[in-house]
Amino acid sequence: MPELPEVETTRKGINPWLEGRIIERLEVRQPKLRWPIPEDLHQRLVGLKLAPLKRRAKYLLFPLLENSGQEAGWGFLWHLGMSGSLRLVAADAPWKKHDHIELQVAPLAEDAQPPLRLRYHDPRRFGALLDYQGDPAEHSLLRKLGPEPLSDAFTAQALFQRSRNRKLAIKLFIMDNAQVVGVGNIYANEALFLAGIDPRRAAGRVSLKRYQRLVKIIREVLAVAIEQGGTTLRDFVGGDGQPGYFAQELNVYGRAGLPCKVCGTVLQEVKLGQRSSIWCKACQA
């Protein structure tokens, strides 16, 4: 499932092929994603120009410009859900099962390559494609989001303060988008292992010192994953390469019942908020 590093890698990978181009066509074969794709979106998009793609949390943002280069005052956002991927394909690429959407842009004069199209593939259809008006940060889906994990606004101090008296498990606390965005199940498990914190521990019972360590680790893990994403997911053009997991070594995720890579103790598993949580009872407390 795309976590923040995959979304960021996608943004970097597809932006060079889209930025500055005029939208010629949006083909929606399956409008039923998590929310229906607005019916008239395809009509309203044609003729507008794509500004540089942005990202907020796991949302890809596509701000729009008038042909003149002036801001259009709106744009669209794209969430990949659990199984979504965006790839650039040749114009004659056959539609595969679960290919739902294609965006076609006009090439720039200086584009050497034949025009490519952005194809959205999403078997489980938990993704979303919606328009936003004005400032995307004001959109209802983005408005209440916490800080970006790689920004200065993400601090141990804030996490510590906001967690006081909270009984919620620390793992669920750091997965709460209001505290920090982009920490999905995989990274929550991995970060807590690296920080030596039991995922079940009440967020309010985690010391400032441990939050400092945790914040540092979340930053490092995500930064490394984005770097590696640049390697493993470099090819966004052609091919069949469904973006997979990061090359990064996983210590606990998917390893319940296997020995801890550090101490050999059998890794435990428990459900927290319906998501599997794996930890080492010897290394994490």
Partner DNA sequence: AGGTTCGCCTGCGGGC
Partner DNA sequence: TGCCCGCAGGCGAACC
- The residues binding DNA (CB under 7 A) are 1, 3, 32, 34, 57-58, 79, 81-83, 97-98, 123-126, 140-141, 166-168, 172, 177, 184-186, 271, 273-276
In the chain, at which residue ranges do the beta strands (DSSP E only) sit? 23-28, 49-50, 54-56, 59-65, 71-79, 85-90, 99-105, 116-121, 128-133, 268-272, 275-279
- Exactly one of 3, 6, 102, 190 is catalytic; which is it? 3
- Exactly one of 125, 216, 261, 275 is catalytic; which is it? 275
Nearer Cβ to DNA, position 130 or 217? 130
Nearer Cβ to DNA, position 58 or 210? 58
- 210 SS3 class: helix
Q: How far apart are CA 49 and CA 92, in angstroms?
A: 23
**Cα pseudo-dihedral 233, 234, 236, 240, rounded to 10:** -50
- Exactly one of 11, 58, 87, 210 is catalytic; which is it? 58
Is 275 one of the annotated active-site residues of the chain? yes
Is 199 one of the annotated active-site residues of the chain? no
As given in the structure block, the two tokens for residue 164 are 């006081």
Is 12 one of the annotated active-site residues of the chain? no
What letters, b where the CB count within 10 A reaches 16 and e where it falls short, cover 125-136? bebbbbbbeeeb
For residue 9, the minimal CB distance to DNA (Å) is: 15
For residue 245, the minimal CB distance to DNA (Å) is: 11
Nearer Cβ to DNA, position 23 or 146? 146
For residue 126, the minimal CB distance to DNA (Å) is: 4
Nearer Cβ to DNA, position 3 or 105? 3
Q: Is the dihedral of CA 63, 231, 190, 217 positive or negative?
A: negative
Residue 209: what residue type? K
For residue 197, the minimal CB distance to DNA (Å) is: 17
* Phi, psi (rounded to 5 degrees) for 174: -75, -10
For residue 110, the minimal CB distance to DNA (Å) is: 35
Is 3 one of the annotated active-site residues of the chain? yes
The 8-class DSSP code of residue 70 comes to -
Nearer Cβ to DNA, position 17 or 187? 187
Q: How far apart are CA 129 and CA 118, in angstroms?
A: 13
Just list the catalytic residues: 2-3, 58, 275
